[in-house]
Amino acid sequence: MAAPAAELTKGGVLAAKFTRPPRSLWTDAWWQFRRHRLAMVALGVLGALVVFTLVGPLVYHTPIDTIDFLQSLKGPSADHLLGTDDLGRDLLARVMFGGRISIAVGITAVLLAITLGTTIGALAGFFSRLDNPLMRVTDLFLSLPGLPLLLVIIYLFRDSLRATFGPELGIFIMIVGVIGILGWMPVARLVRAQFLSLKQKEFVEAARSIGARDRRIIVRHILPNVLSPVLVAATIGVGGAILTESTLSFLGLGFPPDVPTWGRILFDARNYLDIAPHWAIFPGLAIFLTVLSINFIGDGLRDALDPRKTN
Amino acid sequence: MGRYILRRLLIAIPTIIVISFVVYAILALAPTDPLSAFGADPRVPPEVRANIRHQLGLDDPWPVRYVKWVSSLAEGDFGISFMSHSSVMDLIKQRLPNTLAVVGVAYVIGVLLAIPIGMISAVRRYSVFDHVATTFAFVGFSVPTFFTGILLIIVFAINLRWFPFIYDSTLVIDDVPSFLQQVKQSIMPITVLALFDTATIARYTRAEMLEHLPLDYVRTARSKGLKEQVVVLRHVLRNSLIPVVTLVALGVPTVFGGAIVTEQIFRVPGIGELLVTAIGNGDTPVVTAILLIFAVLVVLFNLIADVMYAVLDPRIKYA
């Protein structure tokens, strides 16, 4: 901390310069996080990507579904900055629109997985009676063959969900649902392990001795202490969920063709790699950059929130 | 030790049974009719359709079908494919070598590359090598395999024309040129898979080595005057590899799952490709069989990982 010393020689009031506003756990973590250079760059890249998908369509008015065969499979040009697909639709507009869906799927699916995982992990860790049965269920879910089962479930239930909720919302609910339901197990294990050790701590005993009920102890006392590893898992989970969604779409089992998610655009592009490589490269780069920056941010968060590393 | 393995086996068996039940139930209870593709054909009169359903044994309530399916499974019979009318077992036997040739080789290469990379990264922490390896690892598990595959195809198959971009499974390897041909056509799918495997395992090896390097026994070894090479290879690496070996075992089923995508990109006619096609055709017997195989692989390699952990680490008490 060189700044206060410099101030000292200039100014006169000593005490005021040395008092800092009180630092919370989160400001501390932020200070720590800022020192992770790659994570900061990643945060910038991710922020730019989010702005690109959210604000982009407000500025760039080309519709995603205008078909123009005269312009089909054209490379990047002034009219179509990222080129066009086989029906002459503008790729920039489609990539921006697709990003909204991919990111929304990633975040929603992880929220579902985190909620499920934290609830199950907290219950298993706190109530010894529930521990064994809940962990058996967790192990069972971990033994399910992930991707193959996802493919089958989506194939089987796609039509009925589509009929109930409409083609877009139905598929969205289903994809988010299956990614969430097949993804909560690591979080549950993590939360359970933390609960097992934390519930023995003095502060829990103190809370209990002043008459706090189980529910309050779980939610107000133990849960906040579990938050940081869960946050790290959630961050990295968003990247994983985006990858899973694009994999499903790439296998043709994701969103319908008129909803251009990143994976879906790649799926459509894969038969035209020789004449229109740009069609595959731009959405692929978008997925890659998003997931890469999320992973770096997760890494930075892990370092920042790890109490052993603070200095 | 023997009792521990036995106990783990006894837990694995009910797990497999429950999973087979779950898989069967999902397929049986799904609102999609397994005969939908066929049933939608207006030329098929209803009585013929009913007849086919009866012949395929689809009239029975599904728990009855489950029991029948399991009992024929016990005799090694996976049933008959709806689409190709050949035995599911034969279909799988036909596809498995292709998957193993690509996925298996990629995984072995991945492991062989990852361990040294992870080790050097840990020993020379924050060196140029470590930074390059770390960046490479992050790229490796952030780039979706289908995008790596597509990039490789664009660069090496389309622009440079070095490798063919469709995998020819009819190729018979009986001389040197045909072997070279096989190598050429496998390079891209293997690279795609190996990149991902190497990244994950190298990262993990590095983390494990870093946990061990500051420990007391390492200092003891150094103060005995052992050469740094001996300290790293004999002491640190051996101890760090225990969890890595477990991770490698646990990763095997995931690798089979990941191969679904790679087989799709490079048109490798393997198990994953069979599954995706069968799903598209509503070919329930094939889908159920492959899902069950994947589930058994997961349980089996979990078991192998646990047993290996116990064998490799004498500190673990197997009660």
Show residues of chain A in contact with B31, CB under 8 Å.
Answer: 156-157, 159-160
**What are the chain A neighbours of B22 within 8 Å (beta carbons)?**
144
Instruction: With CB atoms and an 8 Å threshold, state whether A148 touches B290.
Output: yes
Residue B42: predicted pLDDT: 65
Contact list in A for residue B153 (CB cut-off 8 A) is 273
Please give the share of chain B, as a percent, with pLDDT higher than 70.
Answer: 91
Looking at A14-23, A170-179, B222-231, which range is the least confident one?
A: A14-23
Residue A198 pLDDT > 60, yes or no?
yes
Q: Which residue on chain A is closest to B32 by alpha carbon? A: A156
- Angle made by CA atoms A298, A303, A307, in degrees to the nearest 5: 130
Distance from CA of A211 to the nearest CA of B (A): 39
Reply yes or no on whether the pLDDT at B248 is more than 90. Answer: no
Q: Per-residue pLDDT for A9 more than 60?
A: no
For residue B87, report the phi and psi dihedrals to the nearest 5 degrees: -65, 135
- The reported pLDDT for the residue numbered A114 is 93
Rounded average pLDDT over A96-103? 87
User: Which of the residue ranges A6-15, A72-81, A273-282 would you say has the lowest mean pLDDT?
Assistant: A6-15
Cα gap A290→A35, rounded to integer Å: 21
Give the confidence band of A111 by pLDDT, cuts at 50, 70, 90.
very high
Contact between B16 and B296 (Cβ < 8 Å)? yes
Q: Answer whether residue B5 shows pLDDT above 90.
A: no
Q: Which of A147, A161, A282 would best serve as a mutation to test chain B binding (most B beta carbons within 10 A)?
A: A147
The model's confidence at residue B304, banded by pLDDT at 50, 70 and 90, is confident
Interface test with B, best of A137, A139, A149 (most B CBs within 10 A): A149
Query: What integer pLDDT is reported at residue A72 of this predicted model?
Result: 66
Residue B165 or A120, more confident: A120
For A34, the token pair is 């800022």
Cβ–Cβ contact A163 with B under 8 A: no
For residue A3, the model assigns a pLDDT of: 46
Beta-carbon separation of B142 and A281 below 8 A: no
Q: What would the mean pLDDT of B70-93 be, rounded to a whole number?
A: 78
How far from A35 is each of A32, A230, B138, CA to CA, in Å?
6, 21, 19
Q: Chain A residue closest to B136 (CA)?
A: A292
Touching check for B280 and chain A: CB below 8 Å? yes
Residue A39 near chain B (CB below 8 Å): no
> What is the rounded distance in angstroms from the CA atom of residue B319 to the CA atom of residue B296?
25
How much is the pTM?
A: 0.82
Instruction: pLDDT band for B117, please (50, 70, 90 cuts).
Output: very high
Instruction: Record the tokens describing residue B165, joined without a space.
Output: 């971009």
Please tell me which residue of chain A has the smallest CA distance to B271. Answer: A148
From chain B, the residues in CB contact with A251 under 8 A are 260-261, 264, 276
**Longest alpha-carbon distance in chain B:** 86
Amino acid at B138: F
Q: Which residue in the set A152, A292, A294 is minimally distant from B287, CB to CB?
A: A152
Summary mean pLDDT of chain A: 81
Q: What is residue A164's predicted lDDT score, i.e. its pLDDT? A: 77
Using CA coordinates, name the residue in chain A closest to B158: A274
Q: Is A281 on the interface with B (CB under 8 A)?
A: yes
Query: Cβ of A250 and B138 within 8 Å?
Result: no
- Where is pLDDT greater, at B179 or A73? B179
Are B260 and A296 within 8 A, CB to CB? no
Please name the residues in contact with B217: beta carbons below 8 A apart, sequence gap of 6 or more: B235
Q: Cβ separation of A143 and B23 shorter than 8 Å?
A: no
In the structure, what pLDDT confidence band is assigned to residue B36 with cuts at 50, 70 and 90? low
- A60-64, A172-176, B38-42: lowest mean pLDDT where? B38-42
At B240 the three-state DSSP class reads: helix
Instruction: Assess A140–B contact: CB distance below 8 Å, yes or no.
Output: yes
Which range has the worst mean pLDDT, A240-254, B4-18, B75-89? B75-89
Residue B30 — pLDDT band, cuts 50, 70, 90? low
Return the higher-pLDDT residue of A63 and B292.
Answer: B292
- pLDDT at residue A274 tops 60: yes
Residue A109 pLDDT > 90, yes or no? yes
* A–B interface: beta-carbon pairs under 8 A: 128
CA–CA distance, B282 with A151 (Å, rounded to integer):
12
Q: Which of A11-25, A194-208, B162-176 is least confident?
A: A11-25
A126-130, A137-141, B153-157, B233-237: which is most confident: A126-130
- Give the residue carrying structure tokens 């969604």: A245
Q: Which residue of B has its CA nearest to A276?
A: B154
pLDDT digits (tens, 9 = 90+) for B305-314: 888 877 777 7
pLDDT exceeds 50 at position A266 = yes
- The predicted-structure confidence for A295-306, as pLDDT tens digits, reads as follows 888 888 888 877
Q: For residue B264, what are the contacts with CB-CB under 8 A and spacing of at least 6? A: A250, A251, B146, B272, B273, B276
Among A235-249, B41-55, B297-311, name the most confident range: A235-249
**B316: confidence class by pLDDT, cuts 50, 70, 90:** low
A156/B23 touch (CB, cutoff 8 Å), yes or no = no
Lowest-confidence pick of A104-118, A155-169, B223-237, B274-288 = A155-169
Q: What is the pLDDT of residue A121?
A: 92
pLDDT tops 70 at residue A159: yes
| ipTM of the complex model | 0.78
Contacting B residues, span 142-171, partner chain A, CB-CB under 8 Å: 142-144, 146-147, 150-151, 153-154, 158, 165
From residue B77, how far is each of B72, B100, B192, B295 by CA, in Å? 5, 22, 34, 17
pLDDT band at A75 (very low <50, low <70, confident <90, very high): low
The secondary structure of residue B224, as a DSSP letter, is T
Cβ contact (<8 Å) for A149 and B23?
yes
CA distance to partner chain A, nearest, from residue B71 (Å): 22
Confidence band (pLDDT; 50, 70, 90) for B262?
Answer: confident
Q: Which residues of B touch A281 (CB under 8 A)?
A: 150-151, 154
Give the C-alpha distances (Å, rounded to integers) separating B130 from A6, A20, A119, A142, A194.
Answer: 37, 37, 38, 32, 31
Residues 282-301 (A) with a CB less than 8 A from some CB of B: 284, 287-288, 291-292, 294-296, 299
Q: Which residues in chain B have their CB less than 8 angstroms from residue A139's CB? A: 15
Tokens of B215: 């420990």
Whole-angstrom distance, CA of residue A150 vs CA of residue A244: 10
